[in-house]
Structure 1
Amino acid sequence: MNTKKGNGPCAPGADTGRHSQPAADRGTVRLREAPVGERAGEPPRYAPEWLRLREPADAAARARDLLDPLRIRLADLPGRADGLVVHDVGCGTGSMGRWLAPLLDGAQHWVLHDRDPYLLHFAAVAAPRTAADGSRVTVETRRGDLARLTPDALGGAALVTASALLDVLTAEQVGRLAAVCAAAGCPALLTLSVAGRVGLTPAHPLDAEITEAFNDHQRRTGMLGPDAVDAAAEAFAGHGATVRAHPSPWRLGPEEAGLTAQWLRGWVGAAVEQRPDLRERADRYLDERLAACAAGELRVVVHHTDLLALCRPTGGAK
């Protein structure tokens, strides 16, 4: 299940270097790709180049305020001395494990789930080896999609994690994820879901229209997009979980110009894909924004939300 996602816009095309292309298509790292040979309705694939580019911003944005209640729950688990089993759903290149494993004490075994064997290999090779207290961290990989994640598959799990996943799921898939975690008595830490809000400084008259078109693009084919966190909170709460949400915005300035430029191209490109009538104005807008970015004059806040669902423990949490 490759849904790394996170919050990346769906870029219309890869970089060809030909300036005859519209600005919204030029110089773009392909952020997401439609599944090839997979069942219809599967979440889109995310390019490893995009995942590597965004990893530092993701790590800086994730809500550390949710870690203390998570640590309290994990410390109360029976059998904790044997180590924690953590399932990373839609792991992509493994950035969630590289961020979280070194922040938790105790031995950990991470089970990395993704549909893409290349990303699984990268995630396993680049996985962290030690926890916060120096304990050993081990990994295994499982190729598969969200439909194959069952309570039995989570037997003995201490935690389910995902990063930039919820917003590319449908309501049905989010409901299934909540039900599976609840049945296994397993808490879930689901980070970096798009919130549907973007702040750019200096402001531009077209900001709101691009944002609206992008949000509509995120909701295409039944995906939840910026509605995902509310849907997930409701789904987990419906199973008796205690749910906490916390902002986790990207804050991009001159030091993140490379990421900002690629994000801009994908963000505007997705808006134009959703609303072709924006093309001419969006091309001029993107050229202006990229010039400001290159000059170190642009700052962007891309709002996300992290969610921690503390499901009621069951006999399946060991």
Structure 2
Amino acid sequence: MRTTDVPRYTPDWLELREGADAAARAPELLDALRPHLSGPPLVIHDLGCGTGSMGRWLAPRLGGPQLWILHDRDPDLLDRAAVRMPRTTTDGSRVTIATARGDLARLTGSALDGASLVTASALLDVVTEREVDRIAAACAEARCPALLALTVVGRVELSPADPLDAEIAEAFDAHQRRGGLLGPDAVAVASRAFARHGATVRTHTSPWVLGAEQSALTAEWLRGRVAAAVEQRPRCAGRAEAYLRRRLATCAAGALRAVVHHRDLLALPAPRTTGAAA
């Protein structure tokens, strides 16, 4: 992943969204994943790990001894993730942690040698098609599955509606695609990439459902969404500022409901083929 044009996420934002992420991820894909996991121990590479929320969600659900290799370009996030990862699973098995700071654009199959699983959360929409293909190729070379969660799909439902919702959404989605980033096209592009490399791909919905209880997250999400829209379409700044005031007031009153749609993706490697009998 490049270090220049992909946003760096603050620990505060990542921690604020962790509860909504955990509630949204699709456990339905885990049943399909389990038969394809090699181990023990499970060797799990978490790409763009942030503060480690994916590990905190997934490690207890897999059980058994595990080695988590946390990848991120931000050393502060790596340190936070390593400290906050669970050390045992719900069955009492040990979880071991290692960290790898680096550029995901250089990911190779050899780096994943021995991997049981590659996973990531909220990653696909902030990489390019070339980078997704590299991840898919590396997983195919290592013959390991990939579980990639919480990718935006460009669909948001806000209630009550506002006349400016569509304009803000269009500008935001354009911002998500800036510089060749995949944004809301990521699930479709990644599905094709993994399929090209022989994987079987399944996806499942994983929406944030935000109401009065999540008002702090909703307010911060709104601020970021409108700021990105204005950065993409500066001419809408005045309207966007008024829109944000309206939306924040409704949110503060506990009257705003937001459904932010995502999809989780599971890519299962092609079965090994056996040579003809001699």
Task: Please tell me whether the aligned partners of residues 117 and 146 of structure 2 are also in contact (alpha carbons under 8 angstroms).
Answer: yes
Aligned partners of 1:171 and 1:243: how far apart in 2? 17
If the length of structure 2 is used for normalisation, what is the TM-score?
0.95
Aligned partners of 1:92 and 1:151: how far apart in 2? 22
3-state secondary structure, aligned to 1:106: coil
2:138 equivalent in structure 1: 180
Following superposition, which runs of at least 4 residues in structure 1 exceed 6 angstroms of deviation?
none
Number of aligned residue pairs: 273
Task: Please tell me whether the aligned partners of residues 184 and 314 of structure 1 are also in contact (alpha carbons under 8 angstroms).
Answer: no
1:267-278 superposed matches below 5 A: 267-278=225-236
3-state secondary structure, aligned to 1:85: strand
Q: After TM superposition, give the deviation of residue 284 of structure 1 in Å.
A: 1.0
Q: RMSD of aligned C-alpha atoms?
A: 1.4
Q: After TM superposition, give the deviation of residue 313 of structure 1 in Å.
A: 5.2
Letter matched to residue 206 of structure 2: S
1:124 equivalent in structure 2: 82
Pick aligned residue for 1:140 from 92, 98, 102: 98
Aligned partners of 1:208 and 1:219: how far apart in 2? 17
3-state secondary structure, aligned to 1:118: helix
Higher relative CO (CA 8 A, sep ≥ 6), structure 1 or 2?
A: 1
Greater helix content: 2
**Residue 237 (structure 1) aligned with residue 184 (structure 2):** no
**Residue 299 (structure 1) aligned with residue 257 (structure 2):** yes
**Residue 190 (structure 1) aligned with residue 148 (structure 2):** yes
Q: After TM superposition, give the deviation of residue 129 of structure 1 in Å.
A: 1.3
Pick aligned residue for 1:252 from 210, 225, 228: 210
Task: Please tell me whether the aligned partners of residues 186 and 313 of structure 1 are also in contact (alpha carbons under 8 angstroms).
Answer: no
3-state secondary structure, aligned to 1:46: coil
Q: After TM superposition, give the deviation of residue 83 of structure 1 in Å.
A: 0.9
Aligned partners of 1:285 and 1:256: how far apart in 2? 20
Q: After TM superposition, give the deviation of residue 109 of structure 1 in Å.
A: 0.4
3-state secondary structure, aligned to 2:112: coil
Gaps of 5+ in 2: 274-278
Letter matched to residue 253 of structure 2: A
Of residues 92-101 and 132-141 in structure 1, the stretch that sits farther from structure 2 once superposed is 132-141
Q: After TM superposition, give the deviation of residue 170 of structure 1 in Å.
A: 0.5
Aligned partners of 2:258 and 2:32: how far apart in 1? 30
Pick aligned residue for 1:70 from 23, 26, 33: 33
Aligned partners of 1:88 and 1:105: how far apart in 2? 16
If the length of structure 1 is used for normalisation, what is the TM-score?
0.83
- The CA deviation string for residues 182-225 of structure 1, in whole angstroms up to 9 with x for no partner, is 11101000000111011000011111111111000000011010
Q: After TM superposition, give the deviation of residue 314 of structure 1 in Å.
A: 5.8
Task: Please tell me whether the aligned partners of residues 178 and 235 of structure 1 are also in contact (alpha carbons under 8 angstroms).
Answer: yes
